[in-house]
Amino acid sequence: MWPVDPDDFAPGVSKPEDLDHDESWYFLVLDGQLVCVSEQGIPRPVTGDELRWLDVELVSSHYLGRFRDRHCFAAEAEGPVPEGYAATGLFSWLGRVEPSVFYLAGRAQQVVEWHNSHQYCGRCAERMQDHPEDRAKRCPSCGLVSYPRLAPSIIVLVTRGDEMLLARNANWPTGMYSTLAGFVEPGESIEQTVHREVEEEVGLKVGNLRYLGSQSWPFPNSLMLGFHADYAGGEIVCQEEEISDARWFACDDLPNVPPATAISRWLIDAFVHEVQSR
């Protein structure tokens, strides 16, 4: 697992009065990219002190909370990328910064995206107002409340004895195999999603579901809930256009699998460890 200390971050909506602006971190979104300072190849957010000297215009600013001893903001800016700074996609922060900073950057990008796409009420088209206490927007006309949207999805490693089932998505780089995954549908429990997705993607029945952990996956707004499940019947039949290949693999003969920053890899590693300790 990618360890995150729950004490690292204390979320908040209203910025405190004693805030030290110069030391604050700004996760600055410019044209959908994150502006950062690169220190020996490791990105870090812009500080409040640096922001003061940047030739950009702030379009919106959202207090996020306190990360260790720094207050943090998500902000959107307009203008050219300032000299000496880089603007990169969030994906390039993955694995280069410590996990809690990556998830904070993901939080910032999602808050900015949500703010931009919820300016008006989806029900009556009135302009939305910020909720005074929650990370939410409220319509002054009809009362509709909108919260940042998350898309829960499941990710599951199906196992049979000492083997694991890995599949290749039709759109992935050649040779990479991973666990099965899919979005939760309205009305489903997470467990129902696991059964449905496995059956849809590879035609198998599973049982004995074990929840292992979760990962925020901000591309753009997923929450991945990870499981192990035992094979319970059926023959592999790959879903057309989605899965180009699916096979059983032994732990000592694995194909190219996702990197350690992805929950799919944690599920694979946990099973390998389990088999090795039998």
Question: Which of 20, 134 has the CB closer to Zn ion?
Answer: 134
Using the rule CB under 5 A, give the single segment among 25-33, 126-134, 157-165, 175-183 that binds Zn ion. 126-134
> Which pair of structure tokens corresponds to residue 181?
């995954």
The answer to whether 21 touches 46, Cβ cutoff 8 Å, is no
Using the rule CB under 5 A, give the single segment among 9-17, 120-128, 164-172, 202-210 that binds Zn ion. 120-128
Minimum gap (Å) between residue 116 Cβ and Zn ion: 18
| Nearest Cα to Cα of residue 216 among 133, 131, 155, 137 | 155
* Residue 87 lies near Zn ion (rule: CB under 5 A): no
Amino acid identity, residue 271? F
Interface pick for Zn ion out of 10, 42, 142, 176 (rule CB under 5 A): 142
Q: Note the Cα 234 to chain centre separation in Å.
A: 32
Minimum gap (Å) between residue 144 Cβ and Zn ion: 5
For residues 178 and 264, give the distance between their C-alpha atoms in angstroms, rounded to a whole number. 7
* Residue 139 lies near Zn ion (rule: CB under 5 A): yes
First to last CA, the chain: 21
Secondary structure string (H, E, C) spanning 185-254: CCCCCHHHHHHHHHHHHHCCEEEEEEEEEEEEECCCCEEEEEEEEEEEECCCCCCCCCEEEEEEEECCCC
| Nearest Cα to Cα of residue 258 among 181, 205, 182 | 181
Question: Which of 70, 131 has the CB closer to Zn ion?
Answer: 131
Minimum gap (Å) between residue 146 Cβ and Zn ion: 10
> Which pair of structure tokens corresponds to residue 201?
């993607």
Q: What is the CA radius of gyration of the chain?
A: 22
* Residue 136 lies near Zn ion (rule: CB under 5 A): no
> Which pair of structure tokens corresponds to residue 234?
């059926």
Using the rule CB under 5 A, give the single segment among 72-80, 113-121, 207-215, 219-227 that binds Zn ion. 113-121
Interface pick for Zn ion out of 10, 42, 124, 145 (rule CB under 5 A): 124
CA angle 149, 155, 160 (to 5 degrees): 165
Using the rule CB under 5 A, give the single segment among 51-59, 137-145, 150-158, 175-183 that binds Zn ion. 137-145
Question: Which of 68, 127 has the CB closer to Zn ion?
Answer: 127
* Residue 128 lies near Zn ion (rule: CB under 5 A): no
* Residue 141 lies near Zn ion (rule: CB under 5 A): yes
Residues 185-244 within binding reach of Zn ion (CB under 5 A): none
* Residue 126 lies near Zn ion (rule: CB under 5 A): yes
* Residue 123 lies near Zn ion (rule: CB under 5 A): yes
Which residues of the shown chain bind Zn ion in the complex (CB under 5 A)?
Answer: 121, 123-124, 126, 139, 141-142, 144
